[in-house]
Chain A
Protein backbone atom coordinates (compact mmCIF):
# COMPACT_ATOMS: atom_id res chain seq x y z
CA UNK A 1 0.00 0.00 0.00
CA UNK A 2 2.81 2.29 0.65
CA UNK A 3 4.11 1.90 -2.83
CA UNK A 4 0.69 2.43 -4.35
CA UNK A 5 0.34 5.58 -2.44
CA UNK A 6 3.51 6.72 -4.05
CA UNK A 7 2.16 6.00 -7.49
CA UNK A 8 -1.01 7.84 -6.76
CA UNK A 9 1.02 10.96 -6.02
CA UNK A 10 2.47 10.67 -9.46
CA UNK A 11 -0.91 10.24 -11.03
CA UNK A 12 -0.03 6.81 -12.36
CA UNK A 13 -2.07 3.79 -11.47
CA UNK A 14 -0.33 0.49 -12.07
CA UNK A 15 -3.67 -1.23 -11.77
CA UNK A 16 -2.72 -4.81 -12.49
CA UNK A 17 -0.16 -6.73 -10.57
CA UNK A 18 1.18 -8.44 -13.62
CA UNK A 19 1.90 -5.17 -15.28
CA UNK A 20 3.51 -3.74 -12.26
CA UNK A 21 6.97 -4.84 -13.21
CA UNK A 22 6.60 -3.42 -16.70
CA UNK A 23 5.25 -0.08 -15.51
CA UNK A 24 7.60 -0.06 -12.62
CA UNK A 25 10.40 1.41 -14.64
CA UNK A 26 8.39 3.83 -16.72
CA UNK A 27 7.63 6.42 -14.07
CA UNK A 28 11.27 6.40 -13.22
CA UNK A 29 12.07 7.25 -16.79
CA UNK A 30 9.33 9.82 -16.78
CA UNK A 31 10.75 11.32 -13.67
CA UNK A 32 14.13 11.61 -15.24
CA UNK A 33 12.53 13.20 -18.26
CA UNK A 34 10.39 15.55 -16.22
CA UNK A 35 13.16 16.68 -13.95
CA UNK A 36 15.12 18.62 -16.56
CA UNK A 37 11.91 20.10 -17.88
CA UNK A 38 10.98 21.48 -14.49
CA UNK A 39 14.46 22.75 -14.00
CA UNK A 40 14.31 24.67 -17.24
CA UNK A 41 10.93 26.02 -16.30
CA UNK A 42 12.10 27.36 -12.94
CA UNK A 43 15.21 28.88 -14.34
CA UNK A 44 13.43 30.20 -17.37
CA UNK A 45 10.84 32.06 -15.35
CA UNK A 46 13.39 33.08 -12.75
CA UNK A 47 10.51 34.03 -10.53
CA UNK A 48 10.46 32.06 -7.33
CA UNK A 49 10.86 35.55 -5.95
CA UNK A 50 10.46 38.95 -7.54
CA UNK A 51 11.96 42.12 -6.14
CA UNK A 52 11.17 45.55 -7.50
CA UNK A 53 12.50 48.85 -6.26
CA UNK A 54 9.46 51.10 -6.37
CA UNK A 55 10.37 54.21 -4.38
CA UNK A 56 13.57 56.07 -3.57
CA UNK A 57 14.65 57.19 -0.15
CA UNK A 58 14.09 60.90 -0.55
CA UNK A 59 15.75 63.31 1.84
CA UNK A 60 14.53 66.34 -0.05
CA UNK A 61 16.31 69.59 0.69
CA UNK A 62 19.13 69.40 3.19
CA UNK A 63 21.43 72.05 4.54
CA UNK A 64 25.16 72.03 5.10
CA UNK A 65 26.05 70.91 8.59
CA UNK A 66 22.53 69.74 9.44
CA UNK A 67 21.72 66.03 9.49
CA UNK A 68 18.38 64.85 8.23
CA UNK A 69 16.66 61.50 8.74
CA UNK A 70 13.85 59.77 6.93
CA UNK A 71 12.04 57.14 9.02
CA UNK A 72 11.01 53.86 7.41
CA UNK A 73 7.43 54.68 8.37
CA UNK A 74 7.42 57.80 6.20
CA UNK A 75 4.80 56.93 3.62
CA UNK A 76 6.13 59.43 1.10
CA UNK A 77 9.88 59.58 1.54
CA UNK A 78 10.97 56.16 2.78
CA UNK A 79 12.42 53.75 0.25
CA UNK A 80 10.29 50.83 -0.83
CA UNK A 81 10.83 47.46 -2.45
CA UNK A 82 7.97 45.18 -3.40
CA UNK A 83 8.41 41.42 -3.17
CA UNK A 84 6.40 38.59 -4.68
CA UNK A 85 7.02 35.01 -3.67
CA UNK A 86 5.09 31.94 -2.67
CA UNK A 87 2.83 32.28 0.32
CA UNK A 88 4.51 31.15 3.49
CA UNK A 89 7.95 30.93 1.96
CA UNK A 90 10.96 32.23 3.80
CA UNK A 91 13.11 35.00 2.46
CA UNK A 92 16.51 36.23 3.40
CA UNK A 93 16.80 39.97 2.88
CA UNK A 94 20.22 41.55 2.39
CA UNK A 95 21.00 45.13 1.50
CA UNK A 96 23.92 46.65 -0.32
CA UNK A 97 24.04 50.04 1.36
CA UNK A 98 26.23 52.93 0.22
CA UNK A 99 28.13 54.83 2.90
CA UNK A 100 27.81 58.05 0.96
CA UNK A 101 25.84 59.73 -1.78
CA UNK A 102 27.57 61.26 -4.75
CA UNK A 103 26.93 64.78 -5.94
CA UNK A 104 28.33 67.56 -8.10
CA UNK A 105 31.91 67.15 -9.16
CA UNK A 106 32.13 63.81 -7.41
CA UNK A 107 31.48 65.33 -4.01
CA UNK A 108 30.28 62.81 -1.45
CA UNK A 109 27.86 63.18 1.41
CA UNK A 110 27.73 60.65 4.27
CA UNK A 111 24.71 58.37 4.34
CA UNK A 112 24.04 56.03 7.23
CA UNK A 113 21.52 53.45 8.31
CA UNK A 114 20.58 52.52 11.85
CA UNK A 115 19.48 49.29 13.43
CA UNK A 116 15.80 49.97 12.92
CA UNK A 117 15.89 51.69 9.58
CA UNK A 118 14.40 48.79 7.61
CA UNK A 119 10.97 47.27 7.94
CA UNK A 120 9.25 44.22 6.45
CA UNK A 121 5.54 44.19 5.83
CA UNK A 122 3.86 40.98 4.70
CA UNK A 123 0.89 43.10 3.65
CA UNK A 124 2.77 45.94 1.93
CA UNK A 125 1.53 48.32 4.60
CA UNK A 126 3.81 51.12 5.69
CA UNK A 127 1.92 51.24 8.97
CA UNK A 128 2.41 47.55 9.69
CA UNK A 129 6.08 46.69 9.59
CA UNK A 130 8.50 44.50 11.46
CA UNK A 131 11.63 46.56 11.91
CA UNK A 132 15.05 45.14 11.30
CA UNK A 133 18.64 46.19 10.88
CA UNK A 134 19.36 46.73 7.17
CA UNK A 135 23.08 46.27 7.80
CA UNK A 136 22.70 42.56 8.48
CA UNK A 137 20.70 39.83 6.70
CA UNK A 138 17.15 39.36 7.93
CA UNK A 139 14.85 36.39 7.48
CA UNK A 140 11.20 37.12 6.79
CA UNK A 141 8.18 34.98 5.99
CA UNK A 142 5.76 35.73 3.21
CA UNK A 143 2.14 36.05 4.21
CA UNK A 144 -0.89 34.26 2.89
CA UNK A 145 -2.02 34.68 -0.73
CA UNK A 146 -1.68 36.88 -2.69
CA UNK A 147 1.68 36.90 -0.90
CA UNK A 148 2.87 40.34 -1.77
CA UNK A 149 5.23 41.93 0.70
CA UNK A 150 7.17 45.16 0.92
CA UNK A 151 10.39 46.29 2.51
CA UNK A 152 10.63 49.89 3.63
CA UNK A 153 13.88 51.71 4.27
CA UNK A 154 14.80 54.91 6.04
CA UNK A 155 18.19 56.47 6.72
CA UNK A 156 20.15 59.53 7.72
CA UNK A 157 22.14 61.91 5.61
CA UNK A 158 24.83 64.03 7.24
CA UNK A 159 25.91 66.98 5.11
CA UNK A 160 29.25 68.47 6.00
CA UNK A 161 29.43 72.09 7.05
CA UNK A 162 31.04 72.89 3.70
CA UNK A 163 28.98 70.44 1.67
CA UNK A 164 28.86 71.62 -1.94
CA UNK A 165 25.37 72.55 -3.07
CA UNK A 166 23.60 70.36 -5.58
CA UNK A 167 21.84 67.06 -6.10
CA UNK A 168 23.19 63.85 -4.56
CA UNK A 169 22.24 60.27 -5.27
CA UNK A 170 23.20 56.80 -4.14
CA UNK A 171 22.08 53.30 -5.13
CA UNK A 172 20.61 50.85 -2.65
CA UNK A 173 20.15 47.23 -3.64
CA UNK A 174 18.04 44.64 -1.89
CA UNK A 175 18.80 41.00 -2.60
CA UNK A 176 16.19 38.45 -1.60
CA UNK A 177 17.08 34.79 -1.32
CA UNK A 178 14.09 32.53 -1.57
CA UNK A 179 13.54 29.45 0.57
CA UNK A 180 10.33 27.63 -0.37
Chain B
Protein backbone atom coordinates (compact mmCIF):
# COMPACT_ATOMS: atom_id res chain seq x y z
CA UNK B 1 0.00 0.00 0.00
CA UNK B 2 2.66 2.42 0.95
CA UNK B 3 4.67 1.51 -2.04
CA UNK B 4 1.78 2.38 -4.32
CA UNK B 5 1.27 5.74 -2.67
CA UNK B 6 4.84 6.75 -3.21
CA UNK B 7 4.36 7.45 -6.86
CA UNK B 8 2.13 10.50 -6.54
CA UNK B 9 4.36 11.82 -3.81
CA UNK B 10 7.29 11.81 -6.13
CA UNK B 11 5.19 13.43 -8.78
CA UNK B 12 4.34 16.26 -6.40
CA UNK B 13 7.96 16.78 -5.59
CA UNK B 14 8.61 17.06 -9.26
CA UNK B 15 5.80 19.60 -9.55
CA UNK B 16 7.15 21.79 -6.79
CA UNK B 17 10.69 21.64 -8.04
CA UNK B 18 9.49 22.32 -11.51
CA UNK B 19 7.62 25.45 -10.51
CA UNK B 20 10.46 27.05 -8.64
CA UNK B 21 12.57 27.95 -11.67
CA UNK B 22 9.54 29.50 -13.36
CA UNK B 23 9.02 32.01 -10.59
CA UNK B 24 12.59 32.65 -9.57
CA UNK B 25 14.48 35.23 -11.55
CA UNK B 26 11.48 36.78 -13.25
CA UNK B 27 11.86 40.48 -13.66
CA UNK B 28 10.04 43.63 -14.56
CA UNK B 29 11.21 47.13 -15.33
CA UNK B 30 9.90 50.65 -15.00
CA UNK B 31 11.26 53.95 -16.19
CA UNK B 32 11.18 57.56 -15.12
CA UNK B 33 12.83 60.64 -16.50
CA UNK B 34 15.26 63.11 -15.05
CA UNK B 35 14.41 66.68 -15.98
CA UNK B 36 16.11 70.05 -15.67
CA UNK B 37 15.78 73.46 -17.25
CA UNK B 38 18.98 75.37 -17.82
CA UNK B 39 18.72 79.09 -17.59
CA UNK B 40 20.42 81.34 -20.11
CA UNK B 41 23.99 82.09 -19.05
CA UNK B 42 24.39 85.47 -17.46
CA UNK B 43 26.76 88.01 -18.93
CA UNK B 44 28.11 91.28 -17.56
CA UNK B 45 29.70 93.86 -19.80
CA UNK B 46 31.56 96.97 -18.74
CA UNK B 47 29.81 99.27 -21.19
CA UNK B 48 30.89 102.77 -20.12
CA UNK B 49 33.88 103.77 -18.00
CA UNK B 50 33.44 106.03 -15.00
CA UNK B 51 35.29 109.23 -15.78
CA UNK B 52 36.00 112.08 -13.41
CA UNK B 53 37.66 114.13 -16.11
CA UNK B 54 40.13 116.76 -15.03
CA UNK B 55 40.40 117.26 -11.30
CA UNK B 56 42.51 119.70 -9.32
CA UNK B 57 44.66 119.23 -6.21
CA UNK B 58 42.69 119.86 -3.07
CA UNK B 59 39.33 119.97 -4.90
CA UNK B 60 37.05 116.93 -4.63
CA UNK B 61 35.17 115.96 -7.76
CA UNK B 62 31.93 114.03 -7.89
CA UNK B 63 30.22 112.18 -10.73
CA UNK B 64 26.54 111.46 -10.10
CA UNK B 65 24.81 108.41 -11.51
CA UNK B 66 23.01 110.61 -14.00
CA UNK B 67 26.09 112.52 -15.11
CA UNK B 68 27.66 112.02 -18.50
CA UNK B 69 30.79 110.69 -16.84
CA UNK B 70 28.95 107.93 -14.96
CA UNK B 71 29.98 104.38 -15.55
CA UNK B 72 27.64 101.62 -16.63
CA UNK B 73 27.57 97.81 -16.62
CA UNK B 74 25.16 95.98 -18.89
CA UNK B 75 23.79 92.66 -17.62
CA UNK B 76 22.00 90.07 -19.75
CA UNK B 77 20.50 86.76 -18.69
CA UNK B 78 17.33 84.77 -18.16
CA UNK B 79 14.18 86.85 -18.27
CA UNK B 80 12.84 87.76 -14.85
CA UNK B 81 15.51 85.75 -13.08
CA UNK B 82 16.51 86.96 -9.60
CA UNK B 83 20.14 88.00 -9.34
CA UNK B 84 22.56 89.29 -6.76
CA UNK B 85 25.19 91.92 -7.45
CA UNK B 86 28.49 92.39 -5.72
CA UNK B 87 31.75 94.12 -6.53
CA UNK B 88 34.77 91.89 -6.45
CA UNK B 89 37.04 94.83 -7.15
CA UNK B 90 36.24 98.23 -5.70
CA UNK B 91 39.41 100.26 -5.16
CA UNK B 92 39.82 102.78 -2.37
CA UNK B 93 42.28 104.71 -4.47
CA UNK B 94 42.90 105.52 -8.09
CA UNK B 95 46.56 105.15 -8.89
CA UNK B 96 49.14 106.84 -11.03
CA UNK B 97 52.35 104.92 -10.63
CA UNK B 98 53.04 104.96 -6.91
CA UNK B 99 50.64 107.84 -6.35
CA UNK B 100 47.21 107.29 -4.88
CA UNK B 101 44.10 109.40 -5.06
CA UNK B 102 41.22 108.42 -2.72
CA UNK B 103 37.95 107.50 -4.33
CA UNK B 104 34.52 106.37 -3.11
CA UNK B 105 31.74 105.03 -5.27
CA UNK B 106 27.98 105.18 -5.61
CA UNK B 107 25.84 102.78 -7.58
CA UNK B 108 22.33 102.21 -8.81
CA UNK B 109 20.50 99.65 -10.92
CA UNK B 110 17.63 99.75 -13.34
CA UNK B 111 16.02 97.26 -15.69
CA UNK B 112 16.08 99.91 -18.40
CA UNK B 113 19.01 101.95 -19.59
CA UNK B 114 18.02 105.03 -17.62
CA UNK B 115 20.12 106.22 -14.73
CA UNK B 116 17.44 108.68 -13.70
CA UNK B 117 15.18 105.92 -12.48
CA UNK B 118 17.91 103.75 -11.00
CA UNK B 119 17.57 102.28 -7.54
CA UNK B 120 20.61 103.34 -5.52
CA UNK B 121 22.59 100.87 -3.46
CA UNK B 122 25.81 100.84 -1.52
CA UNK B 123 28.49 99.26 -3.69
CA UNK B 124 30.30 97.68 -0.77
CA UNK B 125 27.13 95.90 0.32
CA UNK B 126 25.92 94.75 -3.07
CA UNK B 127 22.25 94.36 -3.95
CA UNK B 128 19.64 91.89 -5.12
CA UNK B 129 17.03 92.36 -7.80
CA UNK B 130 15.57 90.64 -10.84
CA UNK B 131 16.36 90.91 -14.50
CA UNK B 132 13.77 92.48 -16.74
CA UNK B 133 11.27 90.62 -18.85
CA UNK B 134 13.87 90.60 -21.59
CA UNK B 135 16.65 89.54 -19.24
CA UNK B 136 18.31 92.95 -18.97
CA UNK B 137 19.76 94.96 -16.11
CA UNK B 138 21.83 98.12 -16.04
CA UNK B 139 24.12 99.12 -13.20
CA UNK B 140 25.29 102.72 -13.03
CA UNK B 141 28.42 103.88 -11.22
CA UNK B 142 29.28 107.27 -9.81
CA UNK B 143 31.71 108.41 -7.18
CA UNK B 144 33.87 111.07 -5.66
CA UNK B 145 37.62 111.51 -5.90
CA UNK B 146 39.45 113.59 -3.32
CA UNK B 147 42.80 114.82 -4.63
CA UNK B 148 45.27 115.93 -2.01
CA UNK B 149 46.52 119.46 -2.13
CA UNK B 150 49.85 118.11 -3.30
CA UNK B 151 48.38 115.44 -5.56
CA UNK B 152 50.88 114.56 -8.25
CA UNK B 153 49.69 115.44 -11.71
CA UNK B 154 48.93 112.53 -14.00
CA UNK B 155 46.30 110.10 -15.21
CA UNK B 156 44.87 108.02 -12.38
CA UNK B 157 43.12 104.74 -12.98
CA UNK B 158 41.36 102.01 -11.10
CA UNK B 159 39.40 98.91 -11.97
CA UNK B 160 35.89 98.14 -10.78
CA UNK B 161 34.61 94.61 -11.25
CA UNK B 162 30.95 93.72 -10.90
CA UNK B 163 29.84 90.16 -10.33
CA UNK B 164 26.24 89.17 -10.98
CA UNK B 165 24.95 85.74 -10.04
CA UNK B 166 21.62 83.97 -10.28
User: Complex Cα distance A145/B35, Å?
Assistant: 34
Number of A-B contacts (CB under 8 A): 198
B78 within 8 A of A: yes
List which A156-180 residues lie within 8 A (CB) of chain B. 157, 159, 161-180
A25 within 8 A of B: yes
User: Complex Cα distance A81/B20, Å?
Assistant: 27
Q: How many residues of B sit at the interface, in one of the four size bands?
A: 35 or more
Report yes or no: B19 in contact with A38, Cβ–Cβ below 8 A.
Answer: yes
Q: A20-B1, A175-B27 are in contact. Are A7 and B36 (CB under 8 A)?
A: no
A101 within 8 A of B: yes
Residues on A with beta carbons closer than 8 Å to the beta carbon of B9: 2-3, 6-7
Query: What is the distance, in angstroms, from B149's C-beta to the closest C-beta of chain A?
Result: 48
Query: Beta-carbon contacts of B14-53 to A below 8 Å, as 1s and 0s?
Result: 1100111011111111111111111111100000000000
Query: What is the distance, in angstroms, from A163's C-beta to the closest C-beta of chain B?
Result: 5
Q: How many residues of A sit at the interface, in one of the four size bands?
A: 35 or more
User: Complex Cα distance A81/B37, Å?
Assistant: 23
Closest 7 CB pairs of A and B: A6-B9, A28-B11, A27-B8, A20-B4, A51-B30, A53-B32, A17-B1
**27 pairs, CB–CB < 8 Å, chain A vs chain B:** A6-B9, A9-B12, A14-B5, A26-B8, A28-B8, A38-B22, A43-B22, A46-B26, A51-B28, A51-B30, A53-B32, A56-B34, A66-B166, A82-B30, A109-B36, A111-B34, A163-B38, A165-B39, A167-B37, A169-B35, A170-B34, A171-B31, A171-B32, A171-B33, A175-B27, A176-B27, A178-B28
Binding site for B on A (CB under 8 A): 2-4, 6-7, 9-10, 12, 14, 17, 20-21, 23-28, 30-32, 34-35, 38-39, 42-43, 46-66, 68, 79-82, 98, 101, 103, 109, 111, 153, 155, 157, 159, 161-180
